[in-house]
Structure 1
Amino acid sequence: MIRLLRPFARAVTYTRWLHLFMAVVWPAMWMYLDDRHWWLSAVLLALAGLVPGMRTVEGLQARLLLLGQRQGGDGPEIVTAPSRTWGDRGRTVLWLEARLALGFLVGMLTVQLPVTTEMLVRAGLRLGGGGLDEGAVLQITGHHWWYVALAPLPLVLLAVVVVFSGELITRLAARLLGPSPAERLAALEERTEQLLERNRIARELHDSIGHALTVAVIQAGAARTAGDPEFTDRALAAIEETGRAALEDLDRVLGVLRESERPVSSRPTLADADRLLESARASGAKVDAEVSGPVETVPGPVSREGYRILQEALTNVLRHAGTVPVGVRVAVSDGTLVLDVRNALPAAAAPTPSGGRGSGLRGIRERAALLGGRARTGPDEGDWRVRVELPLA
């Protein structure tokens, strides 16, 4: 019983009822002017539905009165954008005509059913005027006491009409005012772009902060075991510089999150690779770097992603191999950027499977694949090697 009465405790039930009444307000004016031309209401509504802005007006009304607080949640989706195609205009016309027809039916029943209840009471109690009413569609004849027992039935029927007509008009709104296939595809593409951006930002933070923490841990450990004040000063200076660079990266990434229109051109590129190499050298690694080709001509997106790939490769060396000799090669030729990082594997270290399971190596492969390139990571002739090839076009 409580479940049956629950819809009547919801405000949206009555706002839907109001929405159906509003559908017949201005079309009904033609009936007052000339009831022989009532069909002009349907024609005018069809013409109005062809106006792109009508979809916005109807969508806003439907969101406000039909969905209540459910818009944006698990309820149906209703679009408020103007019609862009003839298909959108056609669905808007169908919506207006269906709303007019259903609104007229519900409006008539809203008036007639209470009148029927009144007529049943008057006929059952033999009150003046009996059970006849010139304005009623259904006429009650005769005088019987059991008419009074039937009097609540029209009101119960009216309650059912209010609830089910509200559900019906809401379903029609979702079907006729909902997003078209093209709009759904555009929304899906936008959502995909947002997820890709979040994934890129996650990789940015992982690479930048991970590199800084790795350098700081190695430097702090080396300074503690060295027992040399001069070496400790150099280690602290390296930690300070690396930490400052990480804070700059963090501030830049957070700025992008706060301001979606903020450009990403401030991200470091391969032109800033010397900072990475010096940071690795300051940690004790012997880095032998070779740069060939016009690195400064590498396109921005490729150069920025190349910087992060190189950063992650050096971070992996420091984290897993320690201060071992590292060979870094950056080459630009034949429309391809090649990044090659090799380091000796410590004798006590067990070789990692060639596929690599860490999130850093996975991030390198994802970055390469995103730019149409390829990445190979794993043991190679007794060394650990990361080789990435990125097309410049």
Structure 2
Amino acid sequence: MPRFLRPLARAVTYTRWLHLLCSSVIAFVFAMVYPGLSTPSVRDWVLVYVTPVPLLLLVGTIPVIRRSEGLQARMMLFPGKHARVAGPGPEREISVAPSASWQDRGRTSVWLVLRLFLGLSVGLFSGQMASLTMELAGTAMGEPADSISALPVPGTPWLCVAAIPCVLLFLVYVVAGVGWLTARTAQVLLGPSGAERLAALEERTEQLLERNRIARELHDSIGHALTVAVVQAGAARAAGDPAFTDRALGAIEETGRAALEELERVLLVLREAERPVGSRPTLQEADRLLDSARASGTKVEVTVSGPLETVPGPVSREGYRILQEALTNVLRHCGTVPVTVTLQVADKQLTLEVRNPLPPGRGSGHGGTGSGLRGVRERAALLGGNARTGPLRDEWQVHVELPVG
């Protein structure tokens, strides 16, 4: 379809037209009371425009009016499958929240007055074009009607027939232009305030942080369980010892059961189910992680100093996940090498350190994508601490310091 004909076929042209005509109703109601519509003068039409303004300015200060106008604007100025309160699209630039400040009330009042002026103008123009069309049709059929439009009508029938589509096209294009202007104005006057934009941004940030946290939970817990199971299975196959195989299968079973519980917990979070934060493991339950690593054949030496029970819950829970990720990295990238774990609580600070020798030929890194170590640094940063990960001489270290004050 040619571009200049698109306004004729677009539903938005006619929904915006209806939106404008609806706003003119109040002006005509006032006009029927005073000054009347029988033979209005120019002064009378000025009164029709001006008389409803004080009422609209007052109504605009009612908080819920902003929500009502916002919903109308979304559905009629931006129709289509996206016209939903929570849907994407340009209508998202129009707020549907009640007025929360006098600035919102003022913008709503200005919008009501502007909508009245535009709607009344479009209504009068539409009436004039409709009257002119009927006069042209009457003249074309040889039955000239009384002149009720402000525009002259040619006396030639064939010229009247040719003028009818031109009048209708002109009407539609004017309506489309005013509708576009109304929509742009609605985005400005009914758009979200600074406070609403900030609240929406904070909500979006919270959603992204929650998704990131869930991704880290899955990576840390499920990744750890799968790594332990793979290492155990490989060690059992290489050992060829029935007793060791039984122990390995037992460790795989226990790790798999714990992973299923962790997966169920994360799925509950995804379903927005409520679950106490306190149910997540803490550093006081770190023996479970260490026993799992030892069961895979890894020699783990642990040094604990200071009261772990005094570490605040959030710090202890994140510390558990950091330790879990560090041990997972060792098993995944270095195999069953000796590991040294240090947990120290002193001077209002929790220090967690995991070290292991780098296998020959591994160079200066563990390998992999680094997403787990990035998660360690993110967890530490969220708690106001810091983390260092990387090679230290011939060892790989994960050194984390978290405030506990």
- Give the structure-1-normalised TM-score: 0.92
Given that 1:92 and 1:176 are in contact with CA atoms closer than 8 Å, whether structure 2 keeps it comes out as yes
Corresponding residue number in structure 2 for 1:73: 88
| 1:223-242 equivalent positions in 2, closer than 5 A | 223-242=236-255
Corresponding residue number in structure 1 for 2:55: 44
Q: Choose which of 377, 380, 389 in structure 2 pairs with 1:365.
A: 377
- Give the structure-2-normalised TM-score: 0.90
Q: How far is 1:321 from its partner?
A: 2.2
Gaps of 5+ in 1: none
Amino acid at match of 1:190: E
**Count of equivalent residues:** 388
State the alpha-carbon separation in 2 of the partners of residues 204 and 349 from structure 1. 31
Q: Choose which of 56, 64, 68 in structure 1 pairs with 2:67.
A: 56
1:34 and 2:47 matched: no
> Which digits, 9 at most, give the CA deviation of each residue in 1:168-189, with x for residues without a partner?
2111111111112221122112
Given that 1:46 and 1:97 are in contact with CA atoms closer than 8 Å, whether structure 2 keeps it comes out as yes
Change (3 A) 1:33 1:292: same
| 1:122-201 equivalent positions in 2, closer than 5 A | 122-123=138-139, 126-129=142-145, 132-133=146-147, 135-140=148-153, 143-145=155-157, 146-201=159-214
Q: How far is 1:136 from its partner?
A: 2.7
State the alpha-carbon separation in 2 of the partners of residues 234 and 153 from structure 1. 90
Corresponding residue number in structure 1 for 2:229: 216
Given that 1:356 and 1:378 are in contact with CA atoms closer than 8 Å, whether structure 2 keeps it comes out as no
| 1:237-386 equivalent positions in 2, closer than 5 A | 237-259=250-272, 261-346=274-359, 348-353=360-365, 358-386=370-398
Q: Choose which of 84, 92, 96 in structure 1 pairs with 2:112.
A: 96
State the alpha-carbon separation in 2 of the partners of residues 263 and 55 from structure 1. 39
Q: Choose which of 98, 101, 126 in structure 2 pairs with 1:110.
A: 126
Counting aligned pairs with the same residue, the percent is 61
1:203 and 2:216 matched: yes
State the alpha-carbon separation in 2 of the partners of residues 284 and 213 from structure 1. 16
Secondary structure (helix, strand or coil) at the match of 2:209 reads: helix
Change (3 A) 1:218 1:121: closer
> Which digits, 9 at most, give the CA deviation of each residue in 1:199-243, with x for residues without a partner?
111111111111111111111011111111111110000000111
RMSD across aligned C-alpha pairs, in angstroms? 2.1
Q: How far is 1:83 from its partner?
A: 0.6
Given that 2:333 and 2:366 are in contact with CA atoms closer than 8 Å, whether structure 1 keeps it comes out as no
Secondary structure (helix, strand or coil) at the match of 1:60 reads: helix
Given that 2:7 and 2:172 are in contact with CA atoms closer than 8 Å, whether structure 1 keeps it comes out as no
Q: How far is 1:125 from its partner?
A: 5.7
Q: How far is 1:317 from its partner?
A: 1.5
Gaps of 5+ in 2: 36-43
Q: How far is 1:158 from its partner?
A: 0.8
Corresponding residue number in structure 2 for 1:10: 10
State the alpha-carbon separation in 2 of the partners of residues 260 and 43 from structure 1. 50
